[in-house]
Structure 1
Amino acid sequence: MSETLTFAPLNSRALIALSGPDWRDFLQGLITQDVETLAVSEARFGALLTPQGRLLYDLFVVGREDGAWLDVLAEHRAAIVQRLTMYRLRAKVQIETDETPVSILYSDRPGGSRDATGESAWAPAFAGEIGGWVADPRLPVLGWRGYGVEPPAGATIAEESARDAAKLELGVPGPADWGSDKTYPIEANFDLLNGIDFQKGCFVGQETTSRMKRRGQIKSRMLPIVFEGPAPAVGAEVLAGDLRAGVVTSAGEGRAIVLLRLDRAEGQSLTVDGRLVALERPAWLSDALGVEAA
């Protein structure tokens, strides 16, 4: 089967450049991801949390020769710069906006962009070079993130909305699902998407995050559902019989992401706006949770 590569500019994302001798120590104590071992041209997924452990901002940290990029939601960039500046104190770190464009490249080949051994099955030209492509650290099927790159020859050019639809098809939540200061990162599956390093030590919000993982206090998760017909409204209730089981966080025709109470979801008939819906577990989610795919 021939492979189709799709290139989409991510106009919703923007960059913050960190540099200076203290940038690693500075960032290490703030976010959910380890940066001490981050290599040049490697990306890691993580988040900046509130002190109470709720998700404030998601981010990708991309290693560079002279520091790192933070790949963040464009509408949050100014607020993130302000928060980082507040935490900087006497650390020798420069925090600057960077206008390098962000894009994504992904494949329609089943199994995504890695082969069965985990090795790269395809890679864009110049992958691994500065200002080029880096593998998406969440899931192989999500492909490559590009910084200051052009579409590869032969790639299909798509709008960002097509990328969002592809992620919805995979059941991967995004910023629209978790918002800001509303959700715990484990509820948004950051632990299943390589977004939390539980071995790295302290970071802002670490105590609550580690306690939830250690004690198994994970009552709700963002999971995909499928149904017939048009998308329900964001915020629509998911019912298990007469009991409220969750809420729709993002949706398209025939498919949605919901924040679902796990104790009310299993083995129950679920409805949204009176319509029967079915809980779906994509292969990546089944593997991560150690359960059989729906």
Structure 2
Amino acid sequence: MSQTVTFAHLPSRSLIALAGPDWRSFLQGLITQDVETVAEGEARFGALLTPQGRLLYDLFVVPRGDGAWLDVEAAHREALVQRLTLYRLRAKVEVAADDTPVSVLFGGDPQDRAGWVRDPRLPELGWRGYGVTAPPGATLATEAEREAQKLRLGVPGPADWGTERTYPIEANFDLLNGIDFKKGCFVGQETTSRMKRRGTIKNRMLPLVVDGPPPAPGAEVLNGELRAGEVLSGGEGRAIALVRLDRALGAPLTVDGRPARVEVPDWMAAAVTEFAT
């Protein structure tokens, strides 16, 4: 195995175990992703929204045996367990926390795929592992290094969308295989589908390249004197910002008085073509 293959534990992620004959139909009516067709050995990325269509929690659905794991943000696991329990009603499904650790492998494939599933968002994000150890020859990394890889790819995360403040399309869930628009009803579906039908998404999360240290979250992105967006998170020389596309793409920008520019990843290019100059 090449040394470019990198393994990292993700302490910011944790698992919820679903069990029982109704787990698929239970989730199907709640989240943005189709779970009726997902098979063991693969994963689906999606979210639970508010009835008004804003992001509550992201999650990966990972079938296993007669149930599934939900790979969720650790800080929100307890709240999500409580919310799912409220939604359960008469469904034959059990919801419980599971302490199996979550890991990732990127830059190559695991030799033994037991416990691994491909990250369904982008091929470059590699594999997600559950209860696994580092494969022989893999380079060990921290979660911060994984976050730096995501930042280079322009992939936003929970630090960017927060809770109950962002629409999933603004956070690019539609471009990262996080929404199935053909699956039928789910919580928040009406608003999400209406944004998709309108065809023009004016605001999206995009990488922002700046000189020096990352701007603080909440810093304004300016096109001259016009507000073009807001910084959400960042690392050295780069940030993720929610930007107004018609003001940010191809324009000279500033953040905290420093020059900045939006960078469109290849996986997003087709979605913002009409705004490019």
Q: TM-score, normalised by structure 1?
A: 0.91
Residue among 107, 112, 115 paired with 1:126: 112
Q: Kindly provide the amino acid, as one letter, of the partner of residue 176 in structure 2.
A: L
Deviation at 1:290, TM superposition (A): 5.3
Q: Give the match's secondary structure for 2:39.
A: coil
| Bigger mean CA deviation after superposition, 262-271 or 141-150 | 262-271
Residue among 153, 165, 183 paired with 1:182: 165
Cα pair 2:85 2:95 within 8 Å, conserved? yes
Cα pair 1:241 1:268 within 8 Å, conserved? no
Name the CA distance, whole Å, in 2 between partners of 1:8 and 1:38. 25
Cα pair 1:54 1:205 within 8 Å, conserved? yes
Deviation at 1:289, TM superposition (A): 4.5
Q: Deviation digits for residues 144-188 of structure 1, max 9, x if unmatched?
A: 000000100011111100100111111110000000101000000
What is the aligned partner in structure 1 of residue 178 from structure 2? 195
Name the CA distance, whole Å, in 1 between partners of 2:249 and 2:8. 36
Residue among 234, 240, 265 paired with 2:223: 240
RMSD over aligned CA atoms reads 1.6
Asked if 1:18 is matched to 2:24, the reply is: no
Asked if 1:211 is matched to 2:197, the reply is: no
Q: Kindly provide the amino acid, as one letter, of the partner of residue 211 in structure 1.
A: R
Name the CA distance, whole Å, in 1 between partners of 2:253 and 2:235. 18
Runs of 4+ in 1 over 2 A off after TM superposition: 287-294
Deviation at 1:267, TM superposition (A): 3.4
Cα pair 1:7 1:106 within 8 Å, conserved? yes
Deviation at 1:95, TM superposition (A): 0.5
> How is 1:1-294 mapped onto 2 (pairs within 5 angstroms)?
4-107=4-107, 122-127=108-113, 129=114, 132-287=115-270, 289=272
Name the CA distance, whole Å, in 1 between partners of 2:254 and 2:275. 22
Deviation at 1:284, TM superposition (A): 1.7
Name the CA distance, whole Å, in 2 between partners of 1:175 and 1:262. 21
Q: Deviation digits for residues 94-124 of structure 1, max 9, x if unmatched?
A: 10111110000001xxxxxxxxxxxxxx521
Going from structure 1 to structure 2, the CA distance change for 1:160 and 1:234 (only over 3 Å counts) comes to same
Cα pair 2:31 2:49 within 8 Å, conserved? yes
Deviation at 1:281, TM superposition (A): 1.2
Cα pair 2:7 2:141 within 8 Å, conserved? yes
Deviation at 1:292, TM superposition (A): 11
Q: Percent identity?
A: 72
Q: Give the match's secondary structure for 1:8.
A: strand
Q: Give the match's secondary structure for 2:135.
A: coil
Cα pair 1:238 1:247 within 8 Å, conserved? yes
Q: Deviation digits for residues 232-276 of structure 1, max 9, x if unmatched?
A: 111100001101111000111111100001121133221100111
Q: Kindly provide the amino acid, as one letter, of the partner of residue 87 in structure 1.
A: Y
Q: Deviation digits for residues 185-237 of structure 1, max 9, x if unmatched?
A: 00000000000000000000000000000012522100001121111111100
Name the CA distance, whole Å, in 2 between partners of 1:245 and 1:291. 17
Q: Where in structure 1 are there 5+ consecutive unaligned residues?
A: 108-121
Cα pair 2:3 2:139 within 8 Å, conserved? no
Name the CA distance, whole Å, in 2 between partners of 1:65 and 1:154. 30
Q: Give the match's secondary structure for 2:78.
A: helix
Cα pair 1:282 1:293 within 8 Å, conserved? no
Going from structure 1 to structure 2, the CA distance change for 1:281 and 1:267 (only over 3 Å counts) comes to closer
| Bigger mean CA deviation after superposition, 192-201 or 215-224 | 215-224
| Bigger mean CA deviation after superposition, 178-187 or 284-293 | 284-293
Name the CA distance, whole Å, in 2 between partners of 1:123 and 1:232. 35
Cα pair 1:286 1:292 within 8 Å, conserved? no
Deviation at 1:278, TM superposition (A): 1.0
What is the aligned partner in structure 2 of residue 113 from structure 1? none
